[in-house]
Structure 1
Amino acid sequence: MRKTLTITLTAALLLACGCTSTIEEGDLGIFPFLEVDRAEISAGDAPGTFAIGVYSNRDISVSNGNSLWMKASLNSTHDSVIVEIEQNTEFEDRSAEVIISISDGHIAETVTVTQFSSGMPSISLPSVLSYSDVSMDLTAEITNPGSSSVIGAGFILSTLNGSETEYPAAISGNYLSATATGLSSSTQYYIRAYAENASGRYLSGSIAYYTAGAPVMDSTVINVDTYTNSITITATMSYPGSSTTTYGLLLGREPELTEENAEYKTVHNDVSSSTEPITWTDTFYDLRQGTGYYFRTYAVNEYGTSYGNEEHTYTTGTPDLPRYNITADISIRPYENQPEDLNLSLGRAFQLAYFRDDIRGSGDWAWNYTNILDTDTTITFETYEGKQKLVYLNINPGSINEGCDTKNDNELVRFEHKEWYVLENLLYAVNDVEILSDMTIAPEIKYLTSYIDLEMTYTDANGNQVSDLSTLLMPDATVEIDGLSRECAILEDGSSLYEGEFSGYSISSYDENQDSVRSLGSSAVLPSSGRPLTFSVTLNFTDGSSRTLDCGYGAIKPGRYYRIRLNLLEVSYENGTGFELEVIEDIDEDIEIEF
């Protein structure tokens, strides 16, 4: 409520100014004022929330004076300031100020917040006196017993993803000690000390410490720089495990590197601390240019040998290997079930890439040939000596790279069907070969795609097939297909994999034939990977109307031709005429059709 003095002064000033209006109850007036309902807050050591009532005719600002343990803010109705305080774990009382102010008139009120000290004991960070591969000797100091005597103390150990284990301690004076047993070797533990009295339990901060054991290597190296005849690698060992640990890097051209089979090995033994991480850099010289090398870290001590993950890189430059001419006799069969009188375009030229780990250039699409003119063709190319996988694919490599930024393990090529990409008939082959001289090979060409050829007929309400669809339908139509795959991959064993779903793949057609059967368009598609398809057909009628009708269909497989005829069925109802769409003919009789 407003102070009487304020009301009296406000009324007197209004009369002096010639204002004859009466002041109604609740009228905020024209002069700024601010009131709070309390001047202080007292709280125990527990966390809590308090409210300060405020009353003003101006916008209110709140500050907590940069306190780290108290937060003050105005509530949504602007009639209270909410004060939140944290647990007081210190051994002294503490205070802070909440400043509530308005800018107009420079009026401010200060509310003092006092929080009393905790009665719990205080304890230092723990220390590790000694350790083995299965135990740690721990100690900590009770720095303040609190408001009553300490009745229990100890240590809590946990791993990053494991549960906590508590070890009670013996107390001697202000110090506590315990041995944590049953630990795992080469494992980092997070350790806290605790002490408790009648007021509660106090937990110290945490330290991290390893048990003894075999060295712990980082999973991957920090950096790799490659040159024509050298490789420089920077790596880290998280935990040496012993002052006698030796460590370094292994390098070789064959996978599954060990100390015994590596072509190159570095050795370091400058371990100054058995617990601190070590970072080092090694350079390998006199390497072969354009060559692939495997590498990994290793470390050895009295507890055993540890390895980092194996990685792979290439030196720069052109591989220093003989090159030979390879002739590929390519024979392309039609899609399975494709009509004999139907000739389909085989799309772009074949691209070729080799896949191998021992030389640079693996996976690069380096050869580009003229477009295929018929189903049988011969191409000759040059490649390097050695074992490799040769992959042929009749698609622009730029589309492969743009369509798929990354591929998974066991995949040679991955392609994503983008919205803007017009899909053509995609063919591929994978050959495992060892090239030692000029040779001729006959790759087995497979299809990545399927082919859908859509037709339609029209049956009127009397059950008669319309002989001239142009009398009822405009020549343009659109079909959207749901359920097709969006991505495909060529695997190392030569098989293919399909993932993702392409929703609303569109096929447009324009057919002016005066016939009972009309084309709805055709297209190469990625198979549906077991999913049934849905056709959504949009037709434009000669009366100016248009309709979109749906029809279900079974799953489709790669390398097969599907001619699907849909029937537009006119149906009479009591209140008018409607339409239904159904599959009435399928060249592939093994397909399960959904109506």
Structure 2
Amino acid sequence: MTGLQPVTKYYFRAYATNSIGTAYGNQLSVTTYSNLPTLTTEVVSSITISSAKSGGNITYDGYSSIIGRGVCWNTSGNPTIDDNKTIDGTGPGAFTSSITGLQEKTKYYIKAYATNANGTGYGGERSFSTPPAGSPEIVECEKLRISSGSYPETANLIEKIHSELGSNYSIGDWNDLKAISNIIVWISCMGLKEDQQFMITSNGNHFWSGSRHYFVHYSPDGKPFSSFLVHEQIGNILFLGSWYGLNLNILAKKN
């Protein structure tokens, strides 16, 4: 069968004709594939006031070579390649995109795209917001090197911070971080979704943000990150007397 349209369901049956007439076989159906690429849009990360990272993964090329790929974005939703876009090579598979030229305190909508000879396919839409100028930097989890020490929940955390890091570092808590505006980088590191209440995962246990948590933020040049936590009113969710630096995924920010 030729001349079919993409993404269309067709019904067919075999036939045979002789001098007496025509007989038909059982009716069957088939749905044609799209001739456009199929892909997903990666989570947005490394968000600053003017840039971010994303990308895509092309899982189906539409039986035609991928001649262009990247991400496109705008501030109104449903972006296309007629809006802002990156150009990130050719071919199927995963790719990474660096998004630049963004404005501070702005919500953006983004999609991955892939183009073949038949047209352009898009991944799902994602959104993110750039922080205001002067906001603390959000550091990706995989870049953190966590201290192996532990501190009791009753410890004077400020003293510990000053002894470990110096007097120019201080405590930031969940409310401070949330006020930055968008923490999708951290949510991605946690393996959580937006609007969930869980905040930290340790050894498979979740500790949710209804209770107050404190973070040390530390990001001097040329030194490893250190991260310590203290908590209040967690109740029976946390049965240990200390927060342990190992096995914690912790968001860090710098002043």
TM range (shorter): 0.3 to 0.5
What is the TM-score of this pair, normalised by structure 2?
A: 0.43
What is the TM-score of this pair, normalised by structure 1?
A: 0.20
| Structure that is richer in helix per residue | 2
| Structure that is richer in strand per residue | 1
Larger Rg: 1
Higher relative contact order structure (alpha carbons within 8 Å, sequence separation ≥ 6): 2
